[in-house]
Structures are given as structure tokens and as C-alpha cells.
Amino acid sequence: MNNNFDLKRFGQVVAEDWKLYLRRFGITLIVWTSLPILLWITSLVFDVVIDPGTRAGFIAAFIIATVMTVPANMYGKANLSREGVSFAMLPATNSEKFLSMVLYCSIITPLFCGLGAWAVDSLLTLLPFGGFKEFVIPFSMDHLFHNLLFAAMLFLTESALFMLGNMIFKKRKTGKTFAWILLILFVLTLIIQIDFIWNGLEYLANQIPTPIAAYWFGIAFLLVLTTCLNLFTYRRIKNQKY
């Protein structure tokens, strides 16, 4: 097979993964996007109004949960020597398989879940009864582009973390990845508490002249981190033995 990227072949992989996506994750996605109904029922039963900010937080949590679980649901066998043969035998290059994985895990899933949950929430808000009185506006219109970009980068980074975890761990992939993330964050928190490191970080923070500069520094950091994680994932796919 030609190892160069081929758009037609990539389209065929995307089509095959779409069937896999519907079969392995379709019902789960429907459940997550329908969860605003539970909030609405809760508001109806207890006769309370749930403000848009709280509901937006729940929708964000739904997206986080789907992004965490989709790699193991779709590609959980990709790093298994026996069960992963079907993934290995796909008529596509490693780069085409990887890009399809990124498409479904990092782009399609958060978009489907976010827009789906928001649409369900909006339909429930139209009802004359229940505790949804105002529509959810996910982001402040004053800084719409910046908020959208930062949220997108956060979800891309989260997705990259769990895709890599899916290619590293053999069992309980989502749980182990989540546990390792918590452990790393805990260790980093302890390290930051060391005086000379804290003073160094404080000095660096003071060198950033404006809040907008700090924002773009954060975007650049997430972009570099996501790129590195995805490169590691691609290497795992490329070097996987079956």
C-alpha cells in the first residue's frame, strides 16, 4: 500500500469508523445529550428554577464525560495484539487511521454532544412549565471568539490525553487514564509549593504584560501540549505489534 496520505482512502476509513461510531457509541451519545431532561424533571418535581449558568455547567460536564469515554469505546482494541487485528487490517496508513481517530474523538464527539444537549435544553426551555425559564447562552457574546477558542483547546487537550491513555493501557483504559491525570496534577501541585519553584513561576507570571497576553500564552501552551500528546499517540499506533 502507498504510504502517502490519500484523501479517497481516508474518506473510506472515516466511513468505516462512522459505522463503528454508531454501533459502539451512538446510544451512549444519545443518553448524554438527553441528560438535560433529567435536570428539567428535577426542576418540575421540586418546583425550582435552574438558572442558565448551572445548566451550561452541566452541559460542559456532559461533553467532558463523552470525550473521556469515546476513545476506549471506539478504539479500545487498537493496542491489543490479538483483538486489535481488525484495526491493523484496515486498508489505510497509520496516519489515516490516526486522523480518523482524532476526527471522531476530538471534533465530532464534543460537537455532537454539546450541540445536542444544548438543543434539548432549548426545547425544554420553550415549554410553558418546568424550571427552565431562560435559554442557555454558552459563552459571553462580548468575548465570543476567545471563549470558543479556549473551550475548544481544552476539549482538544482532554481528548488527546484520553486517546493516548487508550493506546497505553490494556484494560480499564478510561479509569486508569483519569487516575494518572489526577496523580500527575497532585505531584505538580506539590512541586509548585516548593519555594524557589513558586517564586520562579510568580516571576514568570509578572513578565506577562496584559491579560490578553496571558490568554494567548495559555492557548499556545495547550496547543503545544495537545500536539505532543497526539504525536505520542501516533507513535503508539505506528509501533503497535499484532
Task: Give the helix, strand, coil percentages of the chain, each rounded to 5.
Answer: 80, 0, 20
What letter would DSSP give residue 3? -
The answer to whether the CB of 117 falls within 8 A of the CB of 62 is yes
At residue 196, the pLDDT reads 61
- All three cell numbers of 57: 455547567
pLDDT band at 209 (very low <50, low <70, confident <90, very high): low
- Residue, of 21 and 3, whose pLDDT is higher: 21
- All three cell numbers of 83: 483483538
- Residue, of 14 and 210, whose pLDDT is higher: 14
Asked if residue 220 has pLDDT above 90, the reply is yes
The answer to whether the CB of 234 falls within 8 A of the CB of 98 is yes
Output the CA–CA distances (angstroms, integers) from residue 110 to 7, 127, 238, in the order listed: 24, 26, 26
Nearest to 70 by CA among 15, 103, 31, 25: 25
Helix (H, G, I), strand (E, B), or coil: what is residue 13?
Answer: helix
- All three cell numbers of 239: 509501533
Output the CA–CA distances (angstroms, integers) from residue 43 to 14, 31, 67, 98, 150, in the order listed: 40, 19, 27, 43, 31
CA gap 79, 166 in Å, rounded: 8
The answer to whether the CB of 121 falls within 8 A of the CB of 36 is yes
Asked if residue 198 has pLDDT above 60, the reply is yes
The answer to whether the CB of 198 falls within 8 A of the CB of 192 is yes
pLDDT band at 188 (very low <50, low <70, confident <90, very high): confident
pTM comes to: 0.88
Concatenate the DSSP letters of all residues of 111-174 into one string: HHHHHHHHHHHHHHHHSSSSS--S----S-GGGHHHHHHHHHHHHHHHHHHHHHHHHH-SSSHH
Segment 76-118, tens digit of pLDDT: 999 998 888 888 888 889 999 999 999 999 999 999 999 999 9
CA gap 38, 188 in Å, rounded: 37
The answer to whether the CB of 21 falls within 8 A of the CB of 103 is no
Label residues 105-128 b or e (16+ Cβ within 10 Å = b): bbebbbebbbebbbebbeebbeee
At residue 241, the pLDDT reads 84
At residue 38, the pLDDT reads 94
